[in-house]
Amino acid sequence: MLALASDLGHLFRTEHDRLMRAMRRLVGSPSTAEDLVQDVFVGLLRGNAFADAENKQAYLARCATNMALDHLRRERVRARYICGADLADCEVACTVPLPDETLQGVQELALLRRTIDALPSKCRAVFLLSRDHGLTMKEIAARLGLSDKTVEKHIARAMTQCRQALRNAGRAI
């Protein structure tokens, strides 16, 4: 049990921010995302499957995605009861995305993650510092000892690769 808590503590410290960003994109609410991320970790602490998981980060990401999808389904049902039986007759705007829209978003996120992982290491590092950590080009250049122009080129290359991957998957961009 102590090793499990230690593993989860390490994952919480290293993955919390990434999970929060992903959950915010899925559910659209920072407070709901925070609640769901916390619920994921509490659920993992209570369960036994996490200890047996071979790739703990992937298992954590899958649990978080499932938690978000379950939440969205519940919200969709709740919206149906609040708005009425036919969502087309809603007087109140129901902002919960449809399950297929959520699934498409999850699939696109996975595609983009694979595309980013396939980038050359320096390009990937620059892009992740920019997007995941929110650093400016100047901050990235100073941190990695690169010129501003090189950082700009790496980010442009990564963005081009991501756009191309989405186009190849049939997404109009």
Position 5 scores a pLDDT of 63
At residue 143, does pLDDT exceed 60?
yes
87 Rama class: left (phi>0) / alpha (psi -120 to 50) / beta? alpha
Lowest mean pLDDT among 47-51, 79-83, 88-92, 137-141: 88-92
Domain ranges, ordered by start, for the chain:
1-96, 98-173
Torsion 21-25-27-32 (CA) sign = positive
* CATH level 3 topology of 98-173: Arc Repressor Mutant, subunit A (1.10.10)
- pTM > 0.85: no
Position 140 scores a pLDDT of 95
The rounded distance, in Å, linking the Cα atoms of 145 and 157 is 19
Neighbours of 116 (CB within 10 A): 18
Neighbours of 6 (CB within 10 A): 10
Phi then psi for residue 86, to 5 deg, are -110, 115
